[in-house]
Amino acid sequence: MENKENGFEWKGIKMEDLRQIMDDPADNAVKSIFEKQDMGYLTGLLKNMAENDDVVSVELPEAMQKFADNIHKFKFSEKDIQCFVQTHKIWEKHGMKFIFILFFRALPYTYRAEKPANVLRMTKLLITHAERRIFETAQFVFDVMDENWWEPKKKGILTATKVRIMHAAMRHVILDNNKSDEQWNSVWGKPISQEDLIATNQVFSLEFFKGLEILGEGLKPKEQEAWFHTWKTIGKIMGVQDNLISKNVKEAWSLQHVIYDHLFSDESHSGVMLAKALVETMSTFHLPTKLTLILMRRMLADKQFPDSFEKMLGPSYKDEYPELFEVHTTSEDKEEHEERLRGHYHSELKDYYQKLNEEKKTIIKKGIENKENNPAVHKGLFEKIIDFLMNLVGISKKEQHLIDVHIELLHNVLHHKDTGNPLEELEEEMILDSMTAMGGIMIAILNGHFRKGKDTGFRIPATLQDNWQLKG
C-alpha cells in the first residue's frame, strides 16, 4: 500500500483515477435506451426493475438485449466450478451467520464510505425504501449462492445481470443535468465507480471472513480462497475490470485497506442516514433498537477504524443511549464499562427471547404462506404424493422448525443447563452463541417476508428450505 501526495495507490493504480471510471459496456447499453426514449422512460424502467424479478424486457433495444445475452454466455473454467461447489457447501453451513454479519457488520461498516453512500441517499433507495433495498441485498446473496447459480436461466446469473443493469441506469439518472433535484457533485468522482464496484464485491468475502472471526468461527485458508474465487468471478460478471481482480485473499485485503483508507476519512452525512435506516429496518426481526445497537457495537469493533460505531451511529442514537457510546481511557474503566454493557445485553436478550416465543407461530405461518405463493419453492407433484403416502401410513416428515431451533439455543444461553433456572449473568462464550443464533432467527423471519412492491415473497431455494429446517 502506498499513500502518495497525489493519492492512494494499489499496484500503480490510483484510487482517485478509479473514481472516474464506471462500466462502459453496461452504461452504453443503457444509453441505447435513452437515445430512443426520454429520461422519464428510463426512470420508469429503473423503478420497474426494482419492483420485479424480470431482467431484460423483450421490448428493450437490441443493444440491451445483446448486453444481457453476452453476460449469460460467460465461460466458466473447471476451477471456477469447483470453487462454486465448495462455496455452496460453505454457504449451507455458514449462510445464517453470513446474513447476521451482513446486517450487523458489513453494511454499517461500509456506510463509512461517504462518496458511494451519496448514491443511495440521492436515489432514496436506503431512505424512503430502506427495508426493500436492504432485503434485496440479502436476496441477491441468496440467488448467487444457490446451487448451480451460474447456469443460464438460474436466478443467480439473472440477478447479477439485473443488478449490473440497474447500476448503469442509476448512473444515467444521477448524472442527468436536466433533473430538478440535487445534482451529483463531481468531487465525489463518478457514481458507482470501479472503486465502488470492487470494494463492494470484496466486502461479500472479506467482511464475511472478519465477521466469522469475531464470532469465533473462522474459515480455513482453502475455504476462504474458494469463497473469494467465487465472489471475484461474480464481480467480473457485474462489471469489475480485470486489473482490479486480486489473485488471492491476501492481495484482496491489500486493495481493500487502500480503499478503506481512501474513502473512510470523509465526514459522514449520507452514511449516518443509511446506518439509521438500517437500524430501523431491524425491527422487522422484532429486534428492539437498543439490542440492535449493542450487537452492532460488538460487530463493528475494528483495529483499522475503531471509531466506526461512534461515527456511524452516534449522531442518531448517542443522546438516547449514552451508555453505549461512553469512551474510557484506562483499562479498569473500560472493563467496568464492558461489564455493564454485558448486563444491558443480558436484559435485552431476555426480553427478545420472550418476544420471539410470542411471535413464533406467526413467523412459521408467514413462512408457509410465502412458500405456497412462491413458485420458486413449490413442491413438485411427486414430492407431494410421497408426503401424502407417508402421512397415510403414519410416517411424518415434520421436523422442528428453524425458529424453534434457534429460540431453543437462546433458551440454553439464558438458562442453567442442569436446573433450567435463569442465569444471573452471561459469559463471553454464551454471548457469542446468542449472536450466532440471531442469524437463524433472521433467516426464519426472512422466509416469511413478503417483499414490498413485489409479487412474490423472499426466495429461499428449496434445498435450503430442507437443510435449514424452514419447512417444519
Q: What residue type is assigned to position 113 of the chain?
A: A
Q: What's the chain's average pLDDT?
A: 88
Q: Which has the minimum average pLDDT: 168-172, 200-204, 230-234? A: 168-172
Query: pLDDT tens for residues 230-260?
Result: 999 999 999 999 999 999 999 999 999 999 9
Q: Are strands 2-4 and 7-10 parallel, antiparallel or unpaired?
A: antiparallel
Q: Which has the minimum average pLDDT: 97-106, 173-182, 244-253, 349-358? A: 173-182
Query: pLDDT tens for residues 304-338?
Result: 999 999 999 999 999 999 999 999 999 999 999 99
pLDDT band for 472, please (50, 70, 90 cuts).
low
pLDDT at residue 362, as a whole number = 93
pLDDT at residue 120, as a whole number = 87
Region at 317 (left for phi over 0; alpha for psi -120 to 50; beta for the rest): alpha
What percent of the chain is predicted at pLDDT more than 70? 85
Tell me the C-alpha distance between 194 and 19, whole Å.
6
Contact indicator for 288, 348 with CB cutoff of 8 Å: yes
pLDDT at residue 202, as a whole number = 98
Query: pLDDT tens for residues 435-467?
Result: 999 999 999 999 888 655 555 678 888 878 888
pLDDT at residue 371, as a whole number = 64
Q: Which has the minimum average pLDDT: 32-36, 116-120, 170-174, 223-227? A: 32-36
Average the pLDDT over 17-21 and give the result. 98
Tell me the C-alpha distance between 199 and 211, whole Å.
16
pLDDT surpasses 50 at 3: no
pLDDT at residue 322, as a whole number = 98
Tell me the C-alpha distance between 309 and 306, whole Å.
8
pLDDT at residue 253, as a whole number = 98
pLDDT band for 350, please (50, 70, 90 cuts).
very high
Tell me the C-alpha distance between 281 and 286, whole Å.
10
Contact indicator for 342, 298 with CB cutoff of 8 Å: no
Show the beta-strand stretches assigned E in 18-84: none
- Judged by DSSP in three states, 415 sits in strand
For residue 13, what is the enclosing H or E element? strand 13-14
Query: pLDDT tens for residues 56-91?
Result: 555 667 888 889 889 988 999 999 999 999 999 999
pLDDT band for 42, please (50, 70, 90 cuts).
low
For residue 364, what is the enclosing H or E element? helix 331-372
pLDDT at residue 392, as a whole number = 56
Cell triple for 305: 477504524
pLDDT surpasses 60 at 378: no
| Alpha helix stretches (DSSP H) within 123-220 | 130-144, 155-174, 194-214
Tell me the C-alpha distance between 348 and 31, whole Å.
51
pLDDT surpasses 80 at 339: yes
For residues 304, 305, 309, 315, the Cα torsion angle rounded to the nearest 10 degrees is: 180
pLDDT at residue 428, as a whole number = 95
Query: pLDDT tens for residues 256-310?
Result: 999 999 999 999 999 999 999 999 999 999 999 999 999 999 999 999 999 999 9
pLDDT surpasses 50 at 424: yes
pTM passes above 0.85: yes
